[in-house]
Amino acid sequence: MAYTALEKMRAVNKERFRTDVGPFEPALYGAGREGNDLKSAALRFLHERCEGLRFSSGKEILEEETGLYLGTSLLPGQIPYNMQMDIDRLCLERELEKFIDSGVAVDAYTVYYSYLEMYMGAYGRSSKMIELLSEFESNASTLLMKHRDHYSHSVYVFALGLAVYETNAGFRETFKSFYGFKKEEEHEAAAFFLEYWGLTALFHDIGYPFEIPFEQVLAYFEVDDIERGPGCLFLSYRNLNCLSNPGKEASERLNELFERPFASVEELLAYGIGKRLGAAYGVTEEYLLEKICRKPTDPDQFDYYMDHAFFSAMRLYQEFIEVRGAEALTEAHLDVLTAIMLHNSLFKFAIAFYNDDDKRKAPLKAELHPLAYLLMLCDELQCWDRTAYGRNSRTELHPMSAEFDFGRGMIHALYCFDAEESEKIGKYEARYREWEKTRDGKAPRLKAYSDMAEKEQRFRTDIEKIVDLSDYPLFLTTFMRTADRGKKHTYLSGSSFLHLYDFAVAMNGRYRYQGKEDEISVEQLEREFDVMSLEYKLSNINQVKSFSKYLNAIDCFFTDKPVDFEMLHEFEPAQIVVFAPMEHARWIREHRLMGWTAGDLYETALPADDPEIPSLREQMRQHKLCMNGDFGEMEILRHYLDLSEDEQEKDWKPFNTMLKLIRKFDGLRIYKL
């Protein structure tokens, strides 16, 4: 039993109606398997190890005393609070499953959305922190010499960490011991890990918008083959107080936690790193503070590189204080910030000196700083399926996919390269064989293929210099196959994620405001969206994500860019008959995945005008339009065609209302090809 609150509600309904009406616990991906691949392990962690995630015994007692539910479904007060928590966890599980299958940014978006709603309180308050990373990368990074995606990358890193925790008992026990969990506190430790690892992995690269302008300036010189160095113009940052000021209330909270004052966030980071690594690596807090403070102001002292990790840690600190408040700070949050600060260059070049044979120190052990250890390991492993933006990055050869086996306390990583690049690989291997005969000069490279495929396996040995793998060996293999270009289902429609959120808000209002579009404000639409549970918010967002497919089928597209095409003001009948069945199929599959079943007892068991009917439907997770059992495309189509005309209209008529509502938001419009 993994979703215990759903099972408890099921027992209540069974006693009430003398029949088993649900809700039924949703199946785990690959039910019955003990797979050690990335997808199976990460999802099993969420499904089974996180039982009871975010439950509140206090609210459960209050519900029993008052007879009123405190959880939100479509509306507040419809379901028990802990049942809502179970459904939230299921949402995260399903969204991560979609992302691992696709790897596309819009599926990474809903993983971020789920995590922020669950752990930061509301997506909207932290959305810009995440969305700007994606927008900066996609729009500004093409001017760089080297740059690849960090948005989807961070969600892959998140999934890798969940898989490591799930499959590696050694790391799991190290983590539990480090944070003081007892042996039997499996679910409590897993919940703690999910929260703090999520912050670490998902936000470790949010500082890239500060590094990208720096790299753009240097790229101006490098394009003329001028190496970065004293002869190059470079940027540095000043007026850092907006990031480094810890804040009055937070300073008081930090003093309470650590029994000492901190004049800046940099001091806090230096203290946190020194506390975890100082004795093992012989570095003082003063040394660390000097290195950290000079990162943004003196990049010439760091081989002319700007460290995005500095800005990631500083930005996340300020975001957390603003959104969650100083009172929510814990000592583990400092571990999150220091793990992020360490992950890029500070540990490698200023603490462990991993590429200097004379000064090199031991790789990081998990027991010294589990979050930093896991972040550096997973950040290095995640090198596949990353969009290349920089000019040099596009000419390199990176893995298009990867397969993992985390079983038997080891990591078996199989990186797959595109078979269509075989000519490029053949030329590189010929050059390498010639070099082997003489060993004259540097070995030829075809990054990242050569780092994995050459005998020295630089990719693996570099990781071993950074993190201690003596108890967690890494084995690496490369292979080739033809890429599946249609896997990502990319269509012409596209917009910033800010507008996807607006689109979803307008989508949510399409039923309620038919014929009243001019009477409603954007603020009211947003309030009505925010009051719903995560499940219903995601349903609207996922409908928007599917809309690009629908529009593609009727030769239309949406965009937030000005284009010279005819705007679509209303869907025509010929278009409706194409996409209405597609929307019905999406709705059917979504409800099936979320554990909904077919039935109408919520209506027939109560008088027709009983106001409790909507709540009972949510408590049963039963809907008269759902489908049970296994079904395919044709079964769903027949199901749609058997619906009454009124029910069929629900799949298309409100979309004309949505077209009017979406014009209330800046930028996003639908056009005809």
512-566 pLDDT tens trace: 777 777 778 888 888 889 899 999 999 999 988 888 888 899 999 888 788 889 9
| Domain match, 299 and 423 both | no
pLDDT, tens digit (0-9, with 9 covering 90-100), for 394-413: 457 888 899 999 999 999 99
Three-state secondary-structure class, residue 457: coil
Asked if residue 95 lies in contact with residue 114, where contact means CB atoms within 8 angstroms, the answer is: yes
Does one domain contain both 325 and 176? yes
Is the confidence at residue 325, as pLDDT, over 50?
yes
Residues 276 and 201 in one domain: yes
Q: Calculate Rg over the CA atoms of the chain.
A: 27
Question: What would the pLDDT profile of 24-71 be if each residue is shown by its tens digit?
Answer: 988 887 655 679 999 999 999 999 999 999 999 999 999 999 999 999
Structure tokens at 462: 């570099």
**DSSP for residue 324:** T
Q: Which residues are paired to 558 by β-bridges?
A: 670
Say how far apart CA 131 and CA 206 lie, in whole Å: 9
More confident residue, 312 or 544: 312
Provide the pLDDT confidence category of residue 480 given band limits of 50, 70 and 90: confident
Q: How many domains does the chain have?
A: 2
Distance, in Å, from the CA atom of 560 to the CA atom of 499, rounded to the nearest integer, reads 7
- Given 451, 466, 481, the domain boundary residue is 481
User: CA 579 to CA 336: how far, in whole Å?
Assistant: 45
CA distance linking residue 6 with residue 90, whole number of Å: 11
Residues 372, 268, 266, 121: what is their CA dihedral angle, to the nearest 10 degrees?
70
| Of residues 152, 66, 146, 147, the one with CA closest to residue 107 | 152
Which of 332, 367, 382 delimits the end of a domain?
382
Residue 416 lies in a domain: yes
Q: What is the pLDDT of residues 267-278, one digit of tens each?
A: 999 999 999 999
In a domain, 126, yes or no: yes
Say if residue 23 is preceded by a cis peptide, omega within 30 of 0. yes
CB neighbour class for 455 (10 Å; exposed up to 12, middle 13-18, buried from 19): exposed
**Mean pLDDT of the chain, nearest integer:** 88
Residue 394 lies in a domain: no
The boundaries of the domain holding residue 457 are 409-481
Calculate mean pLDDT across residues 79-106.
Answer: 95
Q: What is the pLDDT of residues 153-177, one digit of tens each?
A: 999 999 999 999 999 999 999 999 9
Amino acid 138: pLDDT: 56
Domain assignment of residue 279, yes or no: yes
Rounded to whole angstroms, the Cα distance separating 68 from 55 reads 17
Q: Is 144 helix (H, G, I), strand (E, B) or coil?
A: coil
Statement to judge: residues 346 and 419 lie in one domain: no
Asked if the structure places residue 168 within a domain, the reply is: yes
The tokens 């759902």 sit on which residue?
Answer: 626
- Say yes or no: 368 and 416 in one domain: no
Measured from the Cβ of residue 446, the count of other Cβ atoms closer than 10 Å reads 20
Note whether residue 503 is domain-resident.
Answer: no
Burial of residue 634 (number of CB atoms within 10 Å: 0-12, 13-18, 19+) = exposed
For residue 542, being part of any structural domain is answered with no
What is the pLDDT, as a whole number, of residue 393?
A: 44
Does pTM top 0.85 for this prediction? Answer: yes
Q: Does residue 257 share a domain with residue 206?
A: yes
Lookup result for tokens 């095409």:
565
Tell me how far apart the alpha carbons of residues 271 and 19 are, in angstroms, rounded to a whole number.
60
Instruction: Identify whether 653 is part of a domain.
Output: no
Are the C-beta atoms of 276 and 373 separated by less than 8 Å?
Answer: no
Residues 138 and 190 placed together within one structural domain of the fold: yes
